[in-house]
Amino acid sequence: MLTAGGTPEDAIGVVLNQRYKLMRLVGEGGLAAVYEAHELATGARHAIKLLHPQFRQQRTIVERFYAEAKTCFSLKHPHITNVIAYDYAEDGTPYIVMDLLHGCPLDEYLLVNKTMPVEQAGPILYGVLQALSVAHGAGIVHRDLKPQNLFLVPEQNGQYVVKVLDFGIAKVMDAAGGMGSKTQTGAVLGTPGYMSPEQIMDAKQVDPRTDLWAAGVVFYEMLTGHHPFGEDNLSRIITILKEPHDPVSKYRPDLAKWELFFQRCLVRDLEKRYDSAEQ
């Protein structure tokens, strides 16, 4: 059984609803842990997301997590992680069953490779924008788009298929204390370096253009290996609110032709930013 006071590792070996056995911990964030699970009846392997133990007794968070699982289940697109099912475990803990992906998150790729050729980064951005278009059309703003939430599945031709993770997670974060805050255990909820200026000021009052800002930041990092608003996390928020981004040519003079694109992605004035992922 799941234990309310345990650690994510304690859930390994647990069988949910006599159907899914949790085999190993794949990763964890501020709100939840992800496990590789085996479906006992079929032998199929899936990824299962479980709320961290400290949240399982908080009714508002549990209900919000389950509601957002329904939302994610409705989003079907090649560049959005496929949600297969969702349910409550025997003790009332909600969980989400997803496709088990093989590859690595974008942040791990960049940690090793630093940058990505524009011939690879461009198709990844295009895939992200397609996913955002579908979500925004359904009235869903991601609000936590970042390299950790972009999973790269390698193809034989050397390119990557990108899968956007964690659509719907922002509303659960709101219930847990808000984007950019910490839990009682110190786990960070939200990532300030990827928040748009309007999101920093009021995380709940944003529209799809906040995701376009984050997509621009991620693309800039893929191409240059640097954050467009400086390397110091402590001062970066002030820079985002008050200063322009570093021109991409500062790090990659050969990519100066992309500057107009970044100027429209990373402009504080919403009326000057791209209106939609399609645009």
Give the residue numbers annotated as catalytic, written as ranges. Answer: 144
- Cβ atoms of 255 and 248 within 8 Å: the answer is yes
- Cβ atoms of 229 and 248 within 8 Å: the answer is no
- Cβ atoms of 182 and 135 within 8 Å: the answer is no
Question: Where do runs of H (alpha helix) occur along the chain?
Answer: 59-74, 106-113, 118-137, 169-176, 197-201, 209-224, 233-242, 259-265
Angle at 70 between CA 148 and CA 177, to 5 degrees: 55
- Cβ atoms of 145 and 214 within 8 Å: the answer is yes
| Residue 240 token pair | 């985002």
d(CA 8, CA 181): 21
- For tokens 């100066």, what's the residue? 256
